């Protein structure tokens, strides 16, 4: 058993000619808010999928809460929440029906599912079908579904992409609350301000490798620049693009 929430050693994954993840190692402490930053195609999503146990690594290993993430351990699924893309909703179901379905898959009482809808501010949209929700509402519903079984560890892949500034800030409040309740949160993001505000530590990734890990303030200081945006630019040589 290790006390880290996540321990990753030497992960590699290739798709045909593309070395998507090229020897990634990192650790996330329990209760930490950890951000993975990188330009398009850097390998963030593949890294998350390997760590979550959704893909088999070519090499290397990951442990979640002290257990190997591959081969998948059903007992672990109960303790981990993964935010699915809103395109993974069950078709034509309302917001309430979606989260009730997730709740029943996990054996969670319906009342808990309703409480999660309330937490993400979707009670008044409970009767709305998934395809009629706005982008922000769909994101919040997907986060609520990932949290309905009260996981200890939560993975979010670009949770605020495509949201307007107000909706992003509302989501930040929610993510902070989730973390302050003691959950470990790992997210990827396209937004440096978001990483700076939310994350205890960030890892900057490019070309399948982790270039640097540290607190946003420490990275800014280490590279003697003005902001995390500059850290990103200096390490990757690229503006952040969506
Ligand atoms: N299923 C797949 N089959 C083939 N190539 C893939 C597959 N998934 C990802 N790739 C390639 O692997 C590389 C890493 O992709 P990945 O989605 O992990 O990056 P990312 O950092 O999450 O990018 P983005 O910010 O655009 O989501 C990219 O070059 C991508 O084109």
Q: List phi, psi (to 5°) of 11.
A: -70, 135
The pick from 42, 48, 49 for probing ligand 1's pocket by mutation, whose C-beta has the most ligand atoms within 8 angstroms, reads 42
Q: Where are the domains of the chain?
A: 1-79+152-242, 89-150
CB of 43 closer than 6 A to ligand 1? yes
Question: Domain 1-79+152-242 falls in which CATH fold?
Answer: Rossmann fold (3.40.50)
Q: In what order do the strands lie in the sheet with 33-37?
A: 80-82, 153-157, 184-189, 33-37, 201-206, 209-214
Q: Are strands 184-189 and 153-157 parallel, antiparallel or unpaired?
A: parallel
Q: Model's pTM, two decimal places?
A: 0.92
The DSSP result for 181-218, as a single string, is TT-EEEEEES-HHHHHHH-SEEEEEETTEEEEEE-HHH
Nearest to 82 by CA among 175, 2, 156: 156
- The three state secondary structure string of 130-189 is HHHCCHHHHHHHHHHHHHCCCCCEEEEECCCCCCCHHHHHHHHHHHHHHHHCCCEEEEEE
Q: Going by C-beta distance under 8 Å and a sequence separation of 6 or more, which residues neighbour residue 86?
A: 130, 133, 135, 138, 139, 141, 142
- Residue whose Cα lies nearest atom 31 of ligand 1: it is 41
**Atom number of ligand 1 nearest to Cα 42:** 21
Question: Domain 89-150 falls in which CATH fold?
Answer: ABC transporter ATPase like fold (1.20.1580)
List, for residues 19-73, the tens digit of each pLDDT value.
999 999 999 999 999 999 999 899 999 999 999 999 999 999 999 999 999 998 8
Please state the ipTM of this predicted complex.
0.95
Two tokens at 21? 């993840």
CB of 40 closer than 6 A to ligand 1? yes
List, for residues 115-164, the tens digit of each pLDDT value.
999 888 899 999 999 999 988 889 889 999 999 999 999 999 998 887 78
CB of 85 closer than 6 A to ligand 1? no
């Amino acid at each position: 058993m290790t006390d880290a929430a996540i321990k990753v050693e030497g992960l590699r994954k290739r798709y045909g000619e593309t070395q998507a993840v090229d020897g990634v190692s990192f650790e996330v402490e329990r209760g930490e808010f950890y951000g993975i930053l990188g330009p398009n195609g850097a390998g963030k999503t593949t890294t998350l999928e390997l760590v979550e146990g959704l893909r088999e690594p070519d090499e290397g290993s990951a442990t979640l809460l002290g257990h190997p993430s591959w081969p998948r351990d059903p007992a672990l699924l109960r303790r981990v929440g993964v935010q699915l893309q809103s395109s993974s909703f069950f078709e034509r179901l309302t917001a309430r029906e979606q989260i009730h379905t997730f709740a029943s898959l996990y054996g969670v009482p319906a009342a808990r599912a309703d409480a999660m809808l309330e937490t993400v501010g979707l009670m008044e949209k409970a009767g709305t079908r998934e395809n009629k929700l706005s982008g922000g509402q769909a994101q919040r519903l997907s986060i609520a579904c990932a949290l309905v079984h009260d996981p200890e560890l939560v993975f979010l892949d670009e949770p605020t992409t495509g949201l307007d500034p107000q909706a992003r800030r509302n989501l930040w409040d929610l993510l902070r609350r989730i973390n302050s309740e003691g959950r470990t949160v790992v997210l990827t993001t396209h937004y440096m301000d978001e990483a700076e505000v939310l994350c205890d530590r960030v890892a900057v990734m490019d070309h399948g490798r982790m270039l640097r890990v540290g607190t946003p303030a420490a990275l800014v200081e280490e590279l003697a620049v003005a902001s995390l945006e500059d850290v990103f630019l200096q390490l990757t040589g690229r503006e952040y693009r969506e």
